[in-house]
Amino acid sequence: MSAPPSDNPEDANSRSFWMPGNYQRTVRRTEDAFQACNDIVACFQERARVERQYAQQLSEWSNKWKPVVDSSPLYGSLLKSWQCFLSSADRLASLHASICRSLVSDDGDKVRTWQKDTFHKKLFGGFKESQDIDSGFARAQKPWAKRLKKLDKARRAYHKVSRKEQAAREREEHAQGNPDVAIDKQKKIQEEREVAQQEAEKVRGRYEKVLEEVNRYAPRYMEEMESIFDQSQDEERKRIVFLKQAFLSIHKHLDITNNESVRAVYNELHNTLMAIDEQEDLRWWKNTYGPGMPTDWPHFQEWTPEKKAKKGKKGAEKKGSLEKSAMIGGVRVRALYDYVGQETDELSFKAGEEFLKTEDEDDQGWCRGMKDGGWEGLYPANYVELV
């Protein structure tokens, strides 16, 4: 963290880039950038774990509630809508799992590769890039530092004789106003003041000469320091540009608001919810469990004597009898949607196709039916309507 600003000019000057050694803050940017890469990778690896855990939690939540929802008392479009929440969670789980993989495989590996190519470690510690910048600053600042040291010595010498001259002048003024000081003594004090004054002027001249020499060298010093600083700035600019692109890539992977897959999930869920139709659901219930159910009302049944089956045809006649009994109480239904059977004992049909329902819906929401070609199997009860 940078030091707080100070109103003291001497403090500000001591922190200035131009003062000896203060270029080290610029040199340290290389090592700081290397460490920042480590921190960035670690930071978003942890975010990747958050995404993975969220994906797992979504899947666990969906798997936990699927059997509950499938066996719930809801039916029709309401049941389909509830089930759509769970299927949407499964798709979102896959999405967040892919975000986890992108953060680790794409973004993390990209930063690691760039870090390896950009920072070249020295055998005994440090980086070649920071050492080159440090050596350049040191060469440019060495003559300047020597001149500043010489100037500081001249300044301190001048201030010392100035204090001595001031003391001599005060003694002279005190002696002149004091009748107790002898004339000879006053003359001696005056001579001491004159010697101190001459010495101060002499030292001042040397100080001014050294200062003039420093000021003549300053433009060259500034040019050399700025040249090295520009090299450091160019390296830092490349680092900033790369990390900006890395952050944008991470943002792209995390920003699910613009993800087409997420939009599709929620659009489908919204459309399913909007398709809830109370009239259709009530009509289905009426035809499946209410007054609309097919019923074999009582009627006169003529007695027919049983015929003895010939040997070898008993099994065939029995099968025919079973098929005939299965037709009793059957009702024609029409498919509302396309359905492709997932198992060998399931029917497949197209929307609008008609066939015979031979058994009512079971506890799992399945009916048994038979198509005109004689193919018999199970199908979802809420995929058809009575003709």
- Which is higher by pLDDT, 262 or 293? 262
pLDDT at 311 over 70: no
pLDDT band at 207 (very low <50, low <70, confident <90, very high): very high
Q: Are 23 and 17 within 8 A, CB to CB?
A: yes
Classify the C-alpha dihedral 135-19-236-255 as positive or negative: positive
Q: Where are the domains of the chain?
A: 12-292, 331-386
Give the C-alpha distances (Å, rounded to integers) separating 50 from 38, 110, 256. Answer: 19, 20, 15
Tokens of 371: 């198509």
pLDDT at 317 over 70: no
The CA-based dihedral angle spanning residues 156, 158, 164, 170, taken in that order and rounded to the nearest 10 degrees: -120
Q: Quick one: fold of 331-386?
A: SH3 type barrels. (2.30.30)
Distance CA 291, CA 280 (A): 15
pLDDT at 104 over 80: yes
In the chain, pLDDT over 70 holds for what percent of residues? 91
Return the CATH number of the domain spanning residue range 12-292: 1.20.1270.60
Give the pLDDT confidence score for residue 174 in this predicted structure.
84
Beta strand residue intervals within 266-382, DSSP E: 331-335, 354-359, 366-370, 376-380
Structure confidence by residue, pLDDT tens digits, 145-204: 999 999 999 999 999 999 999 998 888 888 877 777 777 888 888 889 899 999 999 999
Distance CA 336, CA 331 (A): 16
How high is the mean pLDDT of the chain? 87
- Pick from 104, 26, 28, 37: nearest CA to 239: 37
Structure confidence by residue, pLDDT tens digits, 37-50: 999 999 999 999 99
Q: Which residue has the tokens 């499946």?
A: 288
Distance CA 341, CA 321 (A): 27
pLDDT at 9 over 70: no
- Which is higher by pLDDT, 105 or 301? 105
pLDDT at 327 over 60: no
Give the pLDDT confidence score for residue 354 in this predicted structure.
92
Q: 278-289 vs 76-101: helix axis angle to the nearest 10?
A: 120
Residue type, 154: A
Distance CA 108, CA 114 (A): 10
Q: Which residue has the tokens 């300044």?
A: 155
pLDDT at 34 over 50: yes
| pTM greater than the 0.85 cutoff | no
Distance CA 271, CA 89 (A): 16
Give the pLDDT confidence score for residue 4 in this predicted structure.
53
Residue type, 63: N
